[in-house]
């Protein structure tokens, strides 16, 4: 019986681990632009075709997109001003 309780306790701790790890990630500042505003700026760029990926770290939003001639473009945007760095 003790083994079952111990195994259940370990399983519960392991299952909750990712939830605790998510709290350690950096968040955008309180006065940051909405991500939708930054995406709208990207979509208005010359020869824009589609967005492949958007990443966040403490340095800003990194947007990866492709142009109509299939060129890959990566731009990091300041979260507060919404302008490219």
pLDDT in tens, 11-70: 666 766 565 555 677 899 999 999 999 999 999 999 999 999 999 998 899 999 999 999
Within 13 Å, how many C-alpha atoms sit on residue 32's CB side?
17
> Beta strands of 1-85 (E only): which ranges?
48-57, 60-67, 72-77
CA distance linking residue 35 with residue 24, whole number of Å: 20
Within a domain: 40: yes
Within a domain: 28: yes
Within a domain: 53: yes
Within a domain: 84: no
User: Which residues form the domain of 70?
Assistant: 2-77
The total number of structural domains that make up the chain: 1
pLDDT in tens, 61-84: 999 999 999 999 999 999 999 999
Query: Model pTM?
Result: 0.70
Within a domain: 85: no
Within a domain: 65: yes
């Amino acid at each position: 019986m003790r083994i079952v309780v111990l195994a259940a306790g370990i399983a519960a701790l392991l299952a909750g681990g990712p939830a605790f790890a998510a709290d350690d990630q950096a968040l955008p500042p309180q006065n940051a632009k909405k991500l939708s505003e930054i995406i709208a700026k990207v979509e208005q760029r010359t020869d824009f075709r589609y967005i492949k990926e958007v990443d966040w770290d403490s340095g800003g939003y990194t947007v990866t997109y492709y142009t109509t001639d299939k060129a890959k473009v990566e731009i990091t945007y300041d979260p507060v001003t919404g302008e490219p760095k």
